[in-house]
Structure 1
Amino acid sequence: MEKVEFESLPLPDQVLQGIRDTGFTHCTPIQAKTLPHALEGKDVAGQAQTGTGKTAAFLIAMFTKLLRNPIEEPKPGAWVAPRALAIAPTRELAIQIERDANALGKHTGLKIVCIYGGVDYDKQREQIRKGVDVLIVTPGRLIDFYKQKFFSLKSIEVLVIDEADRMFDMGFIKDLRYILRNISPYNKRQSMLFSATLNHRVMELCYEHMNDPIPIRIEPEKLVVDKVDQKMFHVGSHEKFSLLLGLLKEEQGDKVLIFTNTKAEAENLESRLQYNDYNAAQISGDLPQKKRIKTLERFTEGELDILIATDVASRGLHIDDITHVINYDLPQDPEDYIHRIGRTARAGKRGDAISLACEEYVDNLVRIEETLTVRIPVEWPEESMFEEEKPGHPPRRKPRSFAQRRQSGDQNRGGRPPRRTGSGGSGGRGSSGSGGGGGRPPRGRKPNQRRRSGPPRSGTSSSAN
């Protein structure tokens, strides 16, 4: 595909200056296919993976439309009426969009505000009261403010729905439809939707709430880049944490991202790794927002060596220089596996992706390898790779009260209690985990797994925590 320069596109000078400041010169494939249609004011539905430049694509189109149609400055005390709305499924993605919007829109003079759950209402309310042109939101918090009649959505000129497929997966589709019913009509605004897949559910949403959208599909050249070195170890649940300690000691990664399937297991790993003298912290769905942002900043800046995350909490993460991704639990969804290991080997660098297949989650391997169309290389752990835990037990977490949970909020909904979804770190079924954190005992090894003689290692049994 022939490369397209941003300078060749009919963009306002203010937008071009923001693009120059960020160092961008040529369009990515999704930008090259999307922008010609979007700059003409047409609705688009784009299929693109994370990291392909889709955020810049819709922000450039959004800023261009708003600058081409200037409006008078609202009078003091006038009804707050945002002109553009960008909806994201998670707080992290909303924050990332805000960061990119501030960089690309630096010279536009447009007022950009981001609101999401887990942050004090008054602070966000004051931001909106000062005026807003571009409102970046998560569904729950937007609805909370809208029902308080704090602003109008009838003046929306540009609507963006990012990661639409995750809206379905995370149970936010009813909230999204409520929002779409209460904003300006589909033929009075420009709409852009982006999703990792334009499946039947997503396209049905497009045809129902958009104005004859143009579908644009960018298929990734490869699901996994060549510079990700994948390998997998078959291991029993009761030996899993011991092997993790051995791998951390052997690999000596500078920046390690560990994925679990549940919030409870993420908290369990955080306690046990810290007890074993590792600089580790976790982010999960109901972690207070200020602590969550601080943890991500510490990991990004290199102050934190190990970050533990669930899939729900990790959506929208863009962190450079991650040397290792470890799947402590094999994910149920193959797309989550691809998303996880794609956090490393970014910007042309190499990275390692290590998966631990225990009897709890090994059945997920079939779907993962079918999606990858290749087998993940298997290595058998040697005796020396298992590292003993420190004697004793890490301190148990004090159960959080319902009031504390309401105060921290779930990942999008401010003070509302967390949703239960059954997987992905929401505390639903299976939240007991599998790595020695009080989960069910091992159900026996698979025939092709190496047997270990003797009793379980000290401190690594499932009752150790």
Structure 2
Amino acid sequence: MTTFDSLSLPEAIRKGVEAVGFTQCTPIQTEALPLALAGKDVAGQAQTGSGKTAAFLIPLFVRLLSSRRPTLPGAPRALILAPTRELAVQILWDAELLGGFTDLTRLAVYGGVDYGKQRDALQQNVDILIGTPGRLIDYFKQGVYELSQVEVLVVDEADRMFDMGFIKDLRFLLRRLPPYHKRQSFLFSATLSFREMELSYEFMNNPIKVAISPEQVTVDKVEHVLFHVEKKEKFRLLRWLLQREAWQRILIFSNTRQGAERLTEKLIRCGFKADLISGSIDQRKRLRIIAKFKEGTLPILVATDVASRGLHVEGVSHVINYDIPQDPEDYVHRIGRTARAGAAGKAISLADEEYVLSLDAIEQYIGFKIPVQWPDESVFTPEVAVGAKAEARNSVRQGRKAK
């Protein structure tokens, strides 16, 4: 296994790597970093949570630090394209950590936050610009910034760009960059099918393809567990799991916004410290909630699939599918929030009568049957009935005493 010490990184970057606790490279980093640091273009296929963000950020920093080109106002030197605002924010956070000892300036632009504030910041000296295609094109057409000085291009989660219909926007931006032989480019994707490779050949300089375990859909350090349960009993089972499991930080997925809201309210009423993120929550508030989850002050986060991509939080010990996802790929993206960068994790799914029909497709997609476990019978003892019996017994006793 390659170590970061063996890569002979510049001092400022080495300090950033040490600050985040990286010592050994993950498989994608082992394959991609030597090529990228040698100046090659890389098209990488890797699972979510495999450490691919560091695989492109580190060589990006090295390239910019070694370049003598000055940073001009409104002319970023590196462009990182992400399909979602959550992923853009996550890349910015990672860049702040890994590049914290460099003097490289970083900015993320995306929808849902102060439009004017982002525009003003973009007109300043920005070394690394991270953003979603829509907001980037909006500012570009207004002449807020230019792309003529870009030395490094990164397209992250290219497969998601296609799935979300961003390919036209993506090509609009890429065609306005300097020629491919005058910049270094990286493309990362969960799959490198014909469409992703066609994009890389069109806009990259003879990219070297790096694929890590393409035959394995899920991370091997995730322990998968399945519980079959009636819908009306799901919350009791969840509460039992929260009391039984040795967890540090838990991400719970619901298929609907209304379901996530109801589940969060129940958890709070039972004394758990929990909050939720969904597409209907204001972006500023969503980012504050995610920040608390990252810091560890919020131990339980309930989310819809808006968080299944682009949410990278170290130390998520458990992912719980309170609802079985209806799309097999969503299962992989959800459980990819745990067991990140070589750590171990646990994925627990609760299959009720509403969503159990999606289970076969998920198991076919991941290539194995999810092991089934059964809870204690006491989990489903009707609490109301137990309480009523206790009250009845107390009433009888008090009646006898009165006699």
Q: Is the CA contact (8 Å cut-off) linking 1:245 and 1:386 kept in structure 2?
A: no
Counterpart Cα distance in 2 of 1:263 and 1:103: 32
Equivalent of 2:366 in 339, 361, 372: 372
Partner of 1:164: 158
Residue equivalent to 2:37: 39
Which residue is 1:106 aligned to? 100
Distance 1:20 1:380 in 2: 43
Structure 2 letter corresponding to 1:336: D
Taking structure 1 as the reference length, the TM-score comes to 0.74
**Residue number in structure 2 paired with 1:127:** 121
3-state SS of paired residue (2:148): coil
* Aligned counterpart for 2:273 among listed residues 257, 260, 279: 279
Aligned: 1:60 with 2:58: yes
Alpha-carbon separation, structure 2, partners of 1:351 and 1:19: 23
Aligned position for 2:255: 261
- Name the residue aligned to 1:334: 328
Deviations 1:355-404 (A, max 9, x none): 111233222211222233322122345553237699xxxxxxxxxxxxxx
More off after superposition, 124-133 vs 11-20: 11-20
2:203 is the alignment partner of 1:209: yes
CA distance in 2 between partners of 1:111 and 1:306 (Å): 33
Q: Is the 1:224–1:342 contact (alpha carbons within 8 Å) kept by the matching residues of 2? A: yes
The equivalent position to 1:235 in structure 2, one of 209, 229, 235, is: 229
Answer yes or no: is 1:200 the counterpart of 2:194: yes
Which residue in the other structure is 2:353 paired with?
359
In the alignment, is the contact (CA less than 8 A) between 1:260 and 1:309 conserved in 2?
yes
What CA RMSD, in Å, does the superposition of the two structures yield over aligned residues? 2.9
Instruction: Give, as a single letter, the amino acid of the residue that structure 2 aligns with 1:58.
Output: F
Q: TM-score, normalised by structure 2?
A: 0.84
| Aligned-partner Cα distance in 2 for 1:44–1:225 | 22
Aligned partners of 1:199, 1:119: CA distance in 2, in Å? 34
Pair 1:12–1:230, CA change in 2 (3 A): closer
Which one-letter code corresponds to 1:67 in the other structure? L
Q: Distance in 2 between matches of 1:195 and 1:219?
A: 13
Q: Note the C-alpha offset of 1:190.
A: 1.8
CA distance in 2, matches of 1:255, 1:107: 29
Please name the residue that 1:82 is paired with: 76
Contact preservation (8 Å) 1:92, 1:314: no
Cross-structure match for 1:458 = none
Q: Secondary structure at the match of 1:86?
A: strand
1:141 equivalent in alignment to 2:135: yes
Deviation of 1:351 after TM superposition, in Å, equals 4.2
User: Which blocks of at least 5 consecutive residues in structure 2 are unaligned?
Assistant: 385-403
**Matching residue within 176, 184, 190 for 2:170:** 176
* Number of the residue aligned with 1:118: 112
Q: Which runs of 5+ in 1 are unaligned?
A: 391-465
State the number of aligned residues.
Answer: 384
* CA deviation after TM superposition for structure 1 residue 150, in Å: 0.5
Change (3 A) 1:347 1:169: closer
Q: CA deviation at 1:151?
A: 0.5
Aligned partners of 2:229 and 2:22: how far apart in 1? 45
Partner of 2:188, secondary structure, is strand
Aligned-partner Cα distance in 2 for 1:92–1:163? 12
CA distance in 2, matches of 1:21, 1:328: 35
CA distance in 2, matches of 1:331, 1:313: 13
Cα distance change, pair 147–26 in 1 and its aligned pair in 2 (3 A): same
